[in-house]
Amino acid sequence: MSETIFPVPAEVAERAHVDNAKYLEMYKQSVENPDGFWGEHGKRIDWIKPFSKVKNTSYDYHNVSIKWFEDGTLNVSANCVDRHLATRGDQPAIIWEGDDPSESKVITYKELHREVNIFANVLKAKGVKKGDRVTIYLPMIPEAAYAMLACARIGAVHSIVFGGFSPDSLAQRIEGCTSKCVITADEGLRGGRKVPLKANVDKAADKAPVDAVIVVKRTGGDIKMTEGRDVWYHEEAAKVSDQCAPEEMSAEDPLFILYTSGSTGQPKGVLHTSGGYLVYASMTHQYVFDYHDGDIYWCTADVGWVTGHSYIVYGPLANGATTLMFEGVPTYPDASRFWQVIDKHNVNIFYTAPTAIRALMGAGNELVEKTSRKSLRLLGSVGEPINPEAWTWYYNVVGEKRCPIVDTWWQTETGGILITPLPGATDLKPGSATRPFFGVQPAIVDAEGNFLEGATEGNLVITDSWPGQMRTVYGDHDRFVQTYFATYKGLYFTGDGCRRDEDGYYWITGRVDDVINVSGHRMGTAEVESALVSHPKVSEAAVVGYPHDIKGQGIYAYVTLMEGEEPTDALKKELVNHVRSEIGPIASPDLIQFSPGLPKTRSGKIMRRILRKIAEDSFDNLGDTSTLADPAVVDDLIDNRQNRH
């Protein structure tokens, strides 16, 4: 861990919304008087009926309840679109860059308004009403943003499913929130390859029937349309008006559901509501990225993840920003694509994930250095811990030592960034997410929940609510309470390990539960295990993460076969393909070890600690194995390990 300090450059502090003194003052106010602080900053968005109550939250295990601005009413799409028309109707709202470098377009706020109104009327014409859930399974095309905002406009609740998920995963997420309408495209386009989105929806709908499938034409590929259920978006759009009055929504009405993996069971539907979420997403976007009018801002995430929700669509558009939306991948047509797009659109603020940085670092400096990147002013990182080597390369080579890096720690559950530098206020240490955002009160506890003071290491909790926090697990409030508030009663448990140094800086060390972070994508080991055991030749499986140079963590699967099955390489491939088709390519095991036995306690519990050590190839210190039912299995596991340094 590097302790090199990068002080705030004077010109950055001068331009920034806050310098260090202001940060300290605002932070103090935000935690000492949250009602006063958020009552003031809650006014940054437009309310139809202003709120009179600000914070009404309880972390009491027996009564977890989170409400912000509860008696206010608003419409999120009116905040992201309509309210900018008078002042910036002709300003680009979205710059869209296609997978193919020859394709791009600019959508102004006026155009965005028209598109969102039309999309909203198409949804209404298909029978979608306030409170209904709508599943969105789209590639990174402007229609994804239109569809989200159209849902928000009519008060429907969107649930976006990342286009890389399989038909089964999609079906599960359609069923989970009983959505009756799916918005998709004929095909997606990523890195020159087609993604069969509509065909996947057809398969999903066999398992989880829906009333309507709205299909956006992207590639013109050959697809099947089911009479009475499937419609082309462009045909429906031609039939409706381009005016749709925004629905008046209560601050605590749901805005979206987003499924995310946990340490147990199937993915949870994280529910975010309207008022607090938008206040928090827009405020963090402005302060963390030090966004000023006229800046061109690019977040490379996909709208299928929370980063795309908060920092491609809702935060930036609520701020009247210009947000760039990229359909492709960092390595197509070659590994200098990101830097070329930055030059093409004069991007000032660039926000990406460590996995992409590490991959591009491996492609060599020439691919970066042949581009100008003079427009860049600020860099951001999100999704997983950034190792100091990648940080330093990002800083020196991409940002040419002039762009501060904001390493932003947050989660699907938190709605927005919680721990992060502010560019004009915070001296940087490579690898540290540094200090809490306004209103965020992190603490570090030991396994028993005792607060650890000063420089220390332990489990990261948050002691009180902030406006962007998730409100519940859709349809299962008890699961919400059990997952986040039961481990340490009265505290929100993040699932992350964390170190705090002598300057009070936070260093996230990674998940301490059975969640792994593969290329910044969150995956539950239980989900991968359940996909593996659904294969007829598999009797048992245990999945753990292991350090991976590019992906951060790789997926290591220990598989016990059914009696009489041959452990061949062909079967390994078959199992990888099986997981891909059950969950999606992001869940593909990197390494599979056939293991006749797994290390279990006498009560039958798998000792994952041992499996993790072997997967990491660091088995010298396996700890106490005497409680194992059959200690001999460990030797076999070590002898046949797949990850040898």
Residue whose Cβ sits closest to ligand PRX: 412
Is 92 assigned to a binding site? no
The smaller minimum CB distance to ligand PRX, of residues 339 and 409, is found at 409
The smaller minimum CB distance to ligand PRX, of residues 281 and 543, is found at 281
The smaller minimum CB distance to ligand PRX, of residues 250 and 387, is found at 387
Q: Please state the closest distance from residue 407 (CB atom) to ligand PRX, in A.
A: 5
The smaller minimum CB distance to ligand PRX, of residues 279 and 462, is found at 462
| SS percent in the chain: helix, strand, coil, step 5 | 35, 25, 40
To which residue do tokens 């869209």 refer? 96
Q: Please state the closest distance from residue 325 (CB atom) to ligand PRX, in A.
A: 17
The smaller minimum CB distance to ligand PRX, of residues 388 and 510, is found at 510
Amino acid 455 reads: A
The smaller minimum CB distance to ligand PRX, of residues 494 and 593, is found at 494
Is 511 assigned to a binding site? yes
Is 248 assigned to a binding site? no
The smaller minimum CB distance to ligand PRX, of residues 313 and 382, is found at 382
Q: Please state the closest distance from residue 552 (CB atom) to ligand PRX, in A.
A: 9
- Cα 198 → chain centroid: 23
Is 131 assigned to a binding site? no
Bridge partners (DSSP) listed for residue 567: none
DSSP letters for 480-496: HHHHHHTTTTTSEEEEE
The smaller minimum CB distance to ligand PRX, of residues 246 and 385, is found at 385
The smaller minimum CB distance to ligand PRX, of residues 305 and 594, is found at 305
The smaller minimum CB distance to ligand PRX, of residues 139 and 262, is found at 262
Q: Please state the closest distance from residue 88 (CB atom) to ligand PRX, in A.
A: 28
The smaller minimum CB distance to ligand PRX, of residues 73 and 483, is found at 483
DSSP-based three-state secondary structure for 546: strand
- Segments in 503-568 forming alpha helices (H): 525-533
Q: Please state the closest distance from residue 114 (CB atom) to ligand PRX, in A.
A: 32
Q: Please state the closest distance from residue 43 (CB atom) to ligand PRX, in A.
A: 26
Is 496 assigned to a binding site? yes
Binding site for ligand PRX (CB under 6 A): 260, 306-307, 382-385, 407-412, 433, 494-496, 508, 510-511, 517, 522
CA distance 435 to 498: 12
Q: Please state the closest distance from residue 551 (CB atom) to ligand PRX, in A.
A: 13
Is 336 assigned to a binding site? no
CA distance 531 to 580: 9
Cβ atoms of 499 and 509 closer than 8 Å: yes
φ/ψ of 36, rounded to 5, equals -65, -45
Q: Please state the closest distance from residue 213 (CB atom) to ligand PRX, in A.
A: 27
Element counts in the chain: helices (H) and strands (E): 22, 31
The smaller minimum CB distance to ligand PRX, of residues 331 and 411, is found at 411
Is 279 assigned to a binding site? no
Neighbour count for residue 73 (Cβ, 10 Å):
18
Q: Which long-range contacts (CB under 8 A, 24 or more apart) does 262-265 make?
A: 262/483, 262/513, 262/515, 262/524, 263/495, 263/513, 263/514, 263/515, 263/524, 263/525, 263/526, 264/514, 264/524, 264/526, 265/524, 265/526
Is 71 assigned to a binding site? no
Amino acid 356 reads: A
Two structure tokens written together for 177: 């929130």
Q: Please state the closest distance from residue 13 (CB atom) to ligand PRX, in A.
A: 23
Burial (0-12, 13-18, 19+ Cβ within 10 Å), 282: buried
Cβ atoms of 350 and 290 closer than 8 Å: no
Is 305 assigned to a binding site? no
- Cα 430 → chain centroid: 22
Report the C-alpha dihedral over residues 397, 400, 403, 404, rounded to 10 degrees. Answer: 60
Cα separation values, 361 from 371, 401, 487, Å = 15, 16, 39
Report the C-alpha dihedral over residues 483, 489, 495, 499, rounded to 10 degrees. Answer: 180
H or E segment at 183? strand 181-185
Is 127 assigned to a binding site? no
Cβ atoms of 385 and 410 closer than 8 Å: no
Q: Please state the closest distance from residue 147 (CB atom) to ligand PRX, in A.
A: 21
Q: Please state the closest distance from residue 58 (CB atom) to ligand PRX, in A.
A: 23
Two structure tokens written together for 376: 């860049």
Give the closest residue to 516 by CA, choosing from 494, 540, 543, 487.
Answer: 543
Is 522 assigned to a binding site? yes
Is 407 assigned to a binding site? yes
The smaller minimum CB distance to ligand PRX, of residues 158 and 511, is found at 511
Is 533 assigned to a binding site? yes
- Cα 531 → chain centroid: 22
Q: Please state the closest distance from residue 510 (CB atom) to ligand PRX, in A.
A: 6
Is 193 assigned to a binding site? yes
In Å, the largest CA–CA distance within the chain is 74
Q: Please state the closest distance from residue 553 (CB atom) to ligand PRX, in A.
A: 10
Two structure tokens written together for 85: 């028309």
CA distance 616 to 134: 41
Is 535 assigned to a binding site? yes
Is 410 assigned to a binding site? yes
Query: From the CA atom positions of the chain, what is the Rg in Å?
Result: 24
Is 448 assigned to a binding site? no
Cβ atoms of 164 and 176 closer than 8 Å: no
- Binding region for CoA: 190-193, 307, 519, 580
- Binding region: 190-193, 307, 383-385, 407-412, 496, 511, 519, 522, 533, 535, 538, 580
- Binding region for ATP: 383-385, 407-412, 496, 511, 522
